[in-house]
């Protein structure tokens, strides 16, 4: 049956009213439903301070160009500097070649052989290197380049400390001749790796194989104790101090090949350093976070974190940041629990007594307090 004009008008009005009712109902429901509260205090537990995060990034990826300080007990303003040495090393007639690094000696630019040969920061082998052992400063057919430190360390008034250091290598031999094996290692006790052979390096728990085909392989330095984070003068690291008292050749990348074709590797050594002294310019503030540093040290204390890595190191950085955040969460979480239980006193005891069937009464109490 065809509707008349008045019937059509009434139907249209009813449709408008129903639409408005539905809209009101929906808007009413949306105001009733509440979003779950975000516990910001708990999210804050899962973080570390910026200075500690920067320190982790520098330690685990010194190649990134980041500059920072060691967030120690008390930090005076300092100049932060990025240091590097770049070059190549080659296997010799015996099929062995390497680059070995003494991280502390990178702090001053006069540590490059000659009169200061025993404080050489980086030693690399040439294609004439005839030994099968890692060289030290008194070997022949080696190169000892100078670091790009802004200071020569000739005065005791200038002091420096190492923040981070690492070495990365890649095979640049013509593709059809590439082969052999490359090992990278951070000395597990930071004892010297000079005068040891390829098999001995391979026996260390912190050593591992790199990529001998062309991609970057890297190993980085982790401080063993507070002494390695202390300030040093150039005189302390000079020729009157025997190597090993304050630092050693503790990083190495060594290649071995059975082929008569020499294997050529490009290497890059990067470091982050701090400088203080009357003549030091470009000084900036240095944050301190003693509690955060304990979490950082715990996060980087595993043997796995000291082994070499192939490719981009950003996954290593993220893993270390997560471990430090978890360490912080455990510490902050315990403190929050103690404070909460102390502050609510008898209410906590009564609440726990009334929830004997609860799996975790402490969680119920914290939810009540939110």
Quick one: three-class SS letters along 314-332?
HHHHHHHHHHHHHHHHHHH
Q: What CATH number has the domain bearing residue 250?
A: 2.60.120.20
The pLDDT, as a whole number, for residue 152 is 83
State whether the Cα torsion 343-349-355-359 is positive or negative: positive
The pLDDT, as a whole number, for residue 330 is 72
Taking alpha carbons only, the member of 321, 119, 83, 117 closest to residue 234 is: 119
Asked if the structure places residue 92 within a domain, the reply is yes
Asked if the structure places residue 167 within a domain, the reply is yes
Asked if the structure places residue 160 within a domain, the reply is yes
State whether the Cα torsion 275-279-280-284 is positive or negative: positive
Q: Is residue 98 a contact partner of residue 254, using CB atoms and an 8 Å limit?
A: yes
Helix ranges, 173-252 (H): 198-202
Asked if the structure places residue 301 within a domain, the reply is no
Q: Residue 36: CB partners within 8 Å, gap ≥ 6?
A: none
Confidence grade of residue 199 (pLDDT, cut at 50, 70, 90): very high
Average pLDDT over residues 254-265: 92
Question: What is the tally of structural domains in the chain?
Answer: 1
298: pLDDT strictly greater than 50: yes
Q: Which of 115-119, 171-175, 200-204, 258-262 has the lowest mean pLDDT?
A: 115-119
Alpha-carbon gap, residue 266 to 215, rounded angstroms: 11
90 DSSP assignment: E
Q: At what angle do helices 50-60 and 314-353 cross, to 10 degrees?
A: 140
Q: Is residue 309 a contact partner of residue 185, using CB atoms and an 8 Å limit?
A: no
Host H or E run for residue 207: strand 207-209
Confidence grade of residue 232 (pLDDT, cut at 50, 70, 90): confident
Q: Which of 3-7, 75-79, 240-244, 269-273 has the lowest mean pLDDT?
A: 240-244
Alpha-carbon gap, residue 108 to 303, rounded angstroms: 30
Asked if the structure places residue 47 within a domain, the reply is no
- Give Cα 309 to chain centroid, integer Å: 12
* Rg of the Cα atoms in the chain: 31
Asked if the structure places residue 275 within a domain, the reply is yes
Q: At what angle do helices 314-353 and 361-369 cross, to 10 degrees?
A: 90
End-to-end CA distance of the chain: 63
Average pLDDT over residues 337-357: 41
The pLDDT, as a whole number, for residue 111 is 58
Asked if the structure places residue 26 within a domain, the reply is no
Average pLDDT for the chain: 79
Alpha-carbon gap, residue 165 to 269, rounded angstroms: 7
Q: Which of 26-30, 66-70, 149-153 has the lowest mean pLDDT?
A: 26-30
262 DSSP assignment: P
Instruction: Name the residue range of residue 277's domain.
Output: 62-294
Asked if the structure places residue 68 within a domain, the reply is yes
Alpha-carbon gap, residue 205 to 60, rounded angstroms: 18
């Amino acid at each position: 049956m065809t509707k008349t004009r008045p019937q059509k008008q009434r139907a249209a009005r009813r449709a408008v009213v129903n639409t408005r009712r539905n809209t009101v109902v929906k808007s009413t429901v949306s105001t009733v439903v509440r979003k779950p509260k975000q516990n910001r205090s708990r999210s804050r537990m899962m973080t570390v301070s910026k200075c500690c995060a920067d320190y982790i990034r520098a330690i685990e990826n010194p190649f990134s160009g980041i500059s920072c300080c060691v967030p120690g007990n008390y930090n005076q303003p300092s100049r932060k500097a990025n240091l590097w040495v770049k070059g190549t090393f080659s296997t010799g007639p015996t099929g062995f070649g390497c680059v070995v690094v003494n991280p502390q000696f990178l702090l001053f630019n006069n540590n490059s052989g000659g009169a200061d040969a025993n404080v050489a920061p980086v030693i690399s082998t040439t294609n004439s290197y005839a030994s099968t052992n890692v060289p030290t400063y008194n070997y022949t057919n080696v190169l000892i380049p100078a670091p790009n430190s802004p200071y020569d360390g000739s005065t005791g008034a200038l002091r420096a400390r190492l923040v981070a250091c690492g070495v990365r290598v890649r095979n640049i031999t013509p593709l059809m001749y590439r082969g052999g094996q490359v090992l990278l290692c951070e000395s597990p006790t930071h004892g010297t790796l000079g005068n040891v052979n390829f098999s001995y390096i391979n026996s260390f728990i912190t050593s591992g194989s790199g990529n001998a085909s062309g991609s970057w392989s890297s190993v980085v330095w982790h401080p063993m104790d507070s002494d390695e984070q202390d300030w040093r003068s150039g005189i302390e690291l000079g020729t009157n101090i025997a190597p090993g008292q304050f630092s050693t050749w503790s990083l190495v990348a060594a290649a071995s090949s059975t082929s008569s074709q020499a294997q050529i590797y490009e290497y890059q050594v990067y470091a982050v350093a701090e400088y203080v002294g009357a003549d030091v310019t470009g000084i900036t503030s240095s944050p301190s976070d003693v509690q955060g540093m304990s979490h950082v040290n715990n996060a980087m204390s595993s043997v796995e974190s000291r082994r070499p890595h192939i490719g981009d190191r950003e996954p290593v950085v993220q893993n270390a940041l997560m471990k430090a955040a978890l360490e912080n969460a455990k510490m902050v979480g315990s403190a929050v629990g103690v404070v909460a239980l102390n502050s609510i006193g008898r209410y906590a005891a009564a609440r726990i007594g009334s929830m004997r069937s609860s799996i975790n009464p402490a969680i119920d109490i914290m939810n009540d307090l939110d």
